Chains A and B, each alone.
Chain A
Amino acid sequence: MDDFRAQVESQRPYLLRYASLQIRDRHSAEDVVQEALLAALAGEAGFAGRSNLRTWLTGILKHKIVDAIRRSSRDAAVAADGDEFEALFDERGHWVDAPAAWADPDASLGQKQFFAALEDCLARLPAKTAQAFTLREHLGLDTGEICKELGVTATHCWVLLYRARMALRECLATNWFRK
């Protein structure tokens, strides 16, 4: 029993790092991890027979993150446009500097440094944009669910996801693929 507690506790640094990717505020991230660890200890029976403790804990943490984002975003407002990328296009809407192909991007997926660069790029996004994007692409929610979680319309949701993708593409092109 105490052995299980110690094993769960040893995963705290990993879980905090994971939560921090999606919840910007350090204290909120710590709270979410604490909630997840308590839930895990209370639900030890649910772990019986599973081989990987970290995977099981991460699954619990994901649910706690979604709950936390849902709570925190009720009152946060969102701007409606997506026009901060205006400068990438000329007056007829053509690329000023068209995207060049990235060299062997799939090779990057095997590199730890690539994911560190991706995390850095995610950390530069405005909080709500990053939340919408991670809910969609990492936690796999559909747009309808994200709108509900974040309390925004479908159109706002698409704008948030568009912004995230545009900004991440620029960031990776500059900092990783070095267009």
Chain B
Amino acid sequence: MLSCKEVTRLVSQGLDRRLGFGERLRLRLHLAICDGCANFRRQMLFLRKAMARLADFESPEDS
């Protein structure tokens, strides 16, 4: 069983490389039973979405 600490590293790496089959399986098993890590994963996906939109931060009246 992966620890939460290991899960945070794998979730992060999963955003940067394709995880192996075993990694994905262990990750899924952990996320299914651990609310803290499931929240962490959702927050990582949100962070990605937010960063993609960072360029829109300027308000129209500045243009």
1/0 per residue, CB under 8 A from B, across A56-95: the answer is 0010000000000000000000000010010011001111
User: Is A102 a contact partner of B54 (Cβ separation < 8 A)?
Assistant: no
Question: Which of A98, A112, A134, A172 has its CB near the most chain B CB atoms (within 10 A)?
Answer: A98
CB contacts between A and B, total, < 8 Å: 107
Whether A99 lies near B49 (C-beta < 8 A) is no
Least Cβ–Cβ distance between A16 and chain B, in angstroms: 12
Is A92 within 8 A of B47, CB to CB? no
User: How many A residues touch the partner, as a band?
Assistant: 35 or more
Residues of A within 8 A of B51 (CB): 118, 133-134, 137-138
Determine the chain B residues whose CB is within 8 A of the CB of A119 once the complex forms: 54, 57
A99 with B58, Cβ < 8 A, contacts A109-B50, A136-B16 known? no
What is the minimal beta-carbon distance from A146 to any residue of chain B, in angstroms? 9
Q: Mark A134-152, 1 if CB is under 8 A from B, else 0.
A: 1011100011000000000
- Secondary structure of the A side of the interface? helix
Least CB separation from B41: chain A residue: A99
Which B residues touch A43, using CB under 8 A? none
* Contact A112/B57 with A100-B39, A102-B43, A137-B47 known, Cβ cut-off 8 Å: yes
Main secondary structure of the interface of B (DSSP, over half): helix
**B4 interfacial by beta-carbon distance below 8 Å:** yes
| B42 contacts across to A, CB distance below 8 A | 101-102, 105
* Residues A93 and B3 in contact, CB atoms below 8 Å apart: yes
A168 touches B54 (CB 8 A): no
* CB neighbors of A among B46-63 (8 A): 46-59, 62-63
B53 and A137 contacting across the interface, CB-CB below 8 Å:
no
Contacts of A166 in B (CB 8 A): 8, 12
Interface residues, chain B, with chain A CB atoms under 8 Å away: 3-6, 8-9, 12-13, 15-17, 34-37, 39-40, 42-44, 46-59, 62-63
5 tightest Cβ-Cβ pairs between the two chains A and B: A93-B3, A98-B36, A137-B51, A115-B57, A93-B5
- 5 pairs from A and B in contact (CB 8 Å cutoff): A99-B37, A109-B50, A137-B51, A158-B12, A158-B16
Known: A109-B50, A158-B13. 10 other contacts (CB 8 A): A18-B55, A85-B8, A93-B5, A101-B39, A101-B42, A102-B43, A102-B46, A106-B49, A116-B57, A136-B16
